[in-house]
């Protein structure tokens, strides 16, 4: 796990634990043994630690956190490195993260390739740096940078890290040779002045000010998350305690936060994100399918989604046609894209060069004939089957035979759109989430005809544009919106039965959702929901009126459409379930008019309003969705619970510290969830989302935990 060799009086400890050289027990032991050997060997005058293959160690082996762990621990290994009288150089390439950066900070010198990145991403998996990182980084960078890096988990490019003092020199060429060359220069130099433990924290006298600011920041930005709070406490101690006590304190904090439910959930989410990349569909999978190269693209429709999707594509440096039917909409769309790109540059999400290049990559047009040569088209026009079919038929005629045709439909079965073409195997759903330039989920949908190569192409495209792509089978609403439908439907019923929209929102925000369901509706636009409902009603042959309470035997609430019909379209019109400071405003306030409309609506339908508890709100919103999630698994729409959880984490910003709804259900206990679903089914027999899933019934009756169903090692942590 650590290859030992000596080259011109420099010992090389080359960590060899693919794929990311994680600091497993064997690696820690290999480093300790290597240090011992190098110290004893009188011919060795300096030591280099590096990583074989693609990276310097990217951190501890997260899988080991579930077990009791085995000595040697990383801190004593690091102490051995630091105490060495022979200079030790960390030669960094790839990603030097977490425990990897801690090892590097125990070394006396750090050199790195320009392409390398360093960071402490522990916070993202619910823990804090536990091998003295919280004590050593502030001694190098000072408190503000240490608070920022450790609480954000961000990866810092090597050149920036050099400015912070983390890296001593940027080197070129082969990293091992560069490390050895650097080590030879350091031969004979005393290591004592290079030992970080003995250094003071530069701005210790201002610790109160920096720590208070960091704490306020994390409580606001990472509301509900425990790890960032623990990170602040640990870093703070670096300026308030002597080094050894600071390390002890870090260990205590690590042991508390590391054993929390949040840490387990976040580590599950880490592995789940990787599991969904290993997709399967009839006739192929991620290993066997071959993506076609995508060098040029087109987006149809310059509305809310089309502009957001174009921004994603342009930010990745890909050319993009933007096609509209309406000149004014096209001009507005271009303005939106320009503003979004400028905003991304300002926020540092993309470089100014990429921002500038985007202008030349974007090709606005009103003519489909320009699309003959593009590799992939994404349609994002109104949610209307006939319109989408018309556009697909047109694209089928003008585009070259290899072009992949994608729809951003939120609900329409891809098979129903693909029939309009002679290339159904090249038709696929690519469902972005609003706002498309921000939300990380890309739900790719295969129809009965989509080929694995087409699926592979959109899965790859998802990664290229910085999304987390999942692949699911087509059905009405697909995975995400189908499973989320009861969430919206039940929230609608709750306000009809007696809760107020802002009460429901508050309960769900306290649960961990960044925005309650009614604020989300206002953001998406009430007309979008209303059009989707109209489309479903049309399919079912139902005529909707203000008094419609059932659709095809299912309970239904018309309140959303009642508001939409009043012109209350949400944020964009300045009024929806809330009122806003202006059309396009963001500050939601309670609107008494909504209470009046609600009361009138209930009176008209003869509904008696009642008090509803927070527990009932959570159960009705979450358990109804979880029940649907199990049906989605039963039907093979998703292959694994991880796909479901990832769709909620990145499509609906479900709190990572709860892992996702399926993971959450497992934590609550499948038996309890099933019993409550049966209870609500008895009380609300006209809502088919309460008909208990047979899979859930079986798992609950046979006491089989979800973790046995999950593919990711995190599920068993």
Instruction: Give yes or no: 59 in active site.
Output: no
Interface residue with ligand HSC, options 182, 222, 230, 254 (CB under 6 A): 254
Q: Which of 82, 122, 379, 619 is catalytic?
A: 122
Which residue number, 505 or 619, has a Cβ lying nearer to ligand NAD? 505
Which residue number, 121 or 488, has a Cβ lying nearer to ligand NAD? 488
**What span, in angstroms and rounded, lies between the C-alpha atoms of 376 and 300?**
11
**What span, in angstroms and rounded, lies between the C-alpha atoms of 11 and 560?**
70
Chain residues that interact with ligand NAD, rule: CB under 6 A: 300-306, 323-326, 329, 380-383, 387, 391, 408-410, 432, 434, 524-525, 528
Instruction: Give yes or no: 102 in active site.
Output: yes
Q: Which of 22, 50, 60, 269 is catalytic?
A: 60
| Contacted by 274, from ligand NAD, ligand HSC, none: CB < 5 to 8 Å by type | ligand HSC
Q: At CA 662, angle to CA 622 and CA 532, rounded to 5?
A: 55
Instruction: Give yes or no: 99 in active site.
Output: yes
**What span, in angstroms and rounded, lies between the C-alpha atoms of 576 and 196?**
57
**451 near 426, Cβ under 8 Å?**
yes
Cα 178 versus chain centre, distance: 36
Helix axes 99-106, 133-141, angle to 10 degrees: 60
| Contacted by 300, from ligand NAD, ligand HSC, none: CB < 5 to 8 Å by type | ligand NAD
Backbone angles phi, psi at 82, to 5 degrees: -65, -35
Q: Which of 82, 102, 497, 643 is catalytic?
A: 102
How far does the chain reach from its first CA to its final CA, in angstroms? 24
Q: Give me the sign of the Cα torsion angle 461, 467, 473, 474.
A: negative
- Contact letters for ligand HSC, residues 19-48 (x by CB under 6 A): xx-x--------------------------
Interface residue with ligand HSC, options 47, 131, 207, 340 (CB under 6 A): 131
The one-character DSSP state at 425 is: G
Backbone angles phi, psi at 566, to 5 degrees: -85, 0
Instruction: Give yes or no: 122 in active site.
Output: yes
Q: In what order do the strands lie in the sheet with 95-97?
A: 95-97, 117-119, 156-157
* In the complex, residue closest to ligand NAD by CB: 303
Smallest distance, ligand NAD to C-beta of residue 644, A: 18
The CB density around residue 595, as the number of other CB atoms within 10 Å, is 13
Please list every residue from 54 through 83 that binds ligand HSC, using CB under 6 A.
Answer: 58-63, 73-74
| Contacted by 4, from ligand NAD, ligand HSC, none: CB < 5 to 8 Å by type | none
**What span, in angstroms and rounded, lies between the C-alpha atoms of 661 and 642?**
10
Which residue number, 191 or 524, has a Cβ lying nearer to ligand NAD? 524
Number of residues that bind ligand HSC (CB under 6 A): 27
Q: Tell whether residue 247 is a contact of ligand HSC (CB under 6 A).
A: no
Does residue 423 sit in helix, strand or coil?
Answer: coil
Smallest distance, ligand NAD to C-beta of residue 469, A: 15
| Contacted by 326, from ligand HSC, ligand NAD, none: CB < 5 to 8 Å by type | ligand NAD
**16 near 190, Cβ under 8 Å?**
no
Smallest distance, ligand HSC to C-beta of residue 97, A: 4
| Contacted by 434, from ligand HSC, ligand NAD, none: CB < 5 to 8 Å by type | ligand NAD
The one-character DSSP state at 320 is: E
The residues, ordered by sequence, that sit 6+ positions from 443 with a Cβ below 8 Å of its Cβ are 429, 430, 431, 433, 469, 470, 472, 478, 479, 480, 647, 651
Interface residue with ligand HSC, options 82, 122, 383, 527 (CB under 6 A): 122
- Contact letters for ligand HSC, residues 364-383 (x by CB under 6 A): --------------------
**What span, in angstroms and rounded, lies between the C-alpha atoms of 236 and 144?**
10
Which residues have a catalytic role annotated? 60, 99, 102, 122
- Give the residues lining the site for ligand HSC (CB under 6 A): 19-20, 22, 58-63, 73-74, 95, 97-99, 102, 121-122, 125, 129-131, 133, 251, 254, 271, 274
């Amino acid at each position: 796990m650590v290859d030992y060799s000596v080259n011109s009086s420099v010992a090389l400890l080359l960590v060899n634990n693919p794929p990311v050289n994680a600091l497993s027990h064997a690696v820690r032991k290999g480093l300790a043994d290597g240090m011992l050997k190098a110290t004893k060997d009188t011919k060795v005058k300096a030591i280099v630690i590096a990583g074989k293959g693609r990276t310097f160690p990217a951190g501890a082996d997260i899988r080991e956190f579930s077990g009791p762990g085995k000595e040697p621990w990383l801190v004593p290994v690091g102490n051995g490195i630091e105490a060495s009288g022979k200079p030790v150089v960390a030669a960094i390439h790839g990603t030097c993260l977490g425990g990897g950066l801690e090892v590097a900070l125990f070394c006396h010198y750090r050199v790195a390739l320009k392409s390398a990145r360093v960071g402490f991403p522990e916070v993202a998996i619910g823990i804090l740096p536990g091998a003295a990182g919280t004590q050593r980084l502030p001694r190098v960078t000072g408190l503000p940078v240490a608070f920022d890096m450790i609480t954000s988990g961000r990866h810092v490019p090597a050149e920036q890290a050099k400015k912070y003092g983390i890296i001593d020199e940027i080197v070129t060429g082969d990293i091992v040779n560069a490390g050895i060359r650097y080590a030879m220069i350091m031969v004979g130099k005393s290591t004592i002045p290079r030992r970080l433990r003995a250094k003071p924290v530069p701005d210790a006298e201002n610790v109160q000010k920096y720590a208070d600011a960091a704490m306020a920041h994390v409580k606001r930005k990472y509301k509900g998350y425990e790890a960032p709070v623990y990170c602040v406490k640990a870093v703070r101690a670096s300026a308030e305690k002597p080094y050894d006590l600071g390390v002890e304190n870090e260990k205590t904090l690590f042991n508390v936060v590391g054993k929390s439910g949040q840490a387990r959930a976040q580590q599950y989410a880490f592995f789940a994100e990787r599991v969904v990349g290993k997709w399967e569909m009839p006739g192929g999978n991620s290993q066997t399918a071959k993506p076609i190269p995508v060098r040029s693209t087109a987006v149809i429709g310059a509305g809310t989604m089309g502009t957001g999707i174009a921004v994603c594509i342009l930010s990745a440096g890909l050319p993009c046609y933007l096609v509209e039917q309406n000149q004014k909409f096209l001009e507005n769309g271009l303005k939106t894209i320009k503003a979004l790109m400028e905003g991304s540059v300002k926020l540092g999400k993309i470089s100014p060069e990429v921002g500038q290049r985007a202008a030349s990559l974007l090709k606005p047009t009103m003519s489909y004939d320009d699309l003959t040569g593009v590799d992939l088209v994404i349609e994002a026009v109104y949610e209307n089957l006939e319109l989408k079919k018309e556009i697909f038929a047109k694209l089928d005629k003008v585009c070259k035979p290899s072009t992949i045709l994608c729809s951003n439909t939120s609900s329409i079965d891809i098979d129903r759109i693909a029939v309009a073409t002679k290339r159904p195997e090249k038709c696929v759903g690519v469902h972005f989430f609003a706002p498309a330039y921000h939300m990380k989920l890309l739900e790719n949908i295969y129809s009965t005809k989509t080929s694995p190569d087409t699926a592979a192409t959109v899965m790859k495209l998802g990664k290229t544009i910085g999304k987390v792509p999942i692949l699911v089978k087509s059905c009405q609403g697909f995975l995400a919106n189908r499973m989320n439908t009861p969430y919206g439907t039940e929230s609608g019923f709750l306000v009809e039965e007696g809760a107020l929209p802002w009460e429901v929102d508050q309960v769900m925000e306290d649960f961990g959702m960044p925005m309650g369901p009614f604020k989300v509706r206002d953001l998406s636009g009430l007309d979008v929901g209303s059009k989707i409902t109209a489309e479903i009603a049309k399919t079912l042959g139902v005529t909707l009126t203000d008094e419609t309470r059932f659709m095809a035997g299912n309970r239904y609430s018309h309140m959303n459409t009642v508001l939409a019909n009043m012109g209350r379209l949400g944020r964009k019109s300045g009024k929806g379930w809330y009122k806003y400071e202006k059309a396009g405003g963001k500050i939601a306030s309670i609107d008494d008019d909504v209470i009046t409309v609600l009361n009138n609506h209930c009176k008209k339908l003869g509904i008696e309003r009642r008090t509803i508890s927070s527990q009932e709100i959570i159960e009705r919103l979450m358990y109804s969705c979880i029940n649907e999630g199990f049906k989605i698994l039963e039907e093979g729409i998703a292959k694994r619970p991880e796909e479901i959880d990832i769709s909620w984490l990145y499509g609906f910003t479900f709190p990572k510290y709860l892992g996702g709804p399926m993971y959450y259900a497992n934590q609550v206990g499948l038996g309890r969830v099933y019993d409550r679903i049966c209870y609500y089914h008895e009380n609300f027999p006209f809502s088919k989302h309460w008909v208990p899933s047979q899979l859930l019934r079986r798992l609950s009756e046979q006491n089989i935990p979800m973790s046995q169903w999950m593919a990711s090692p995190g599920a068993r942590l």
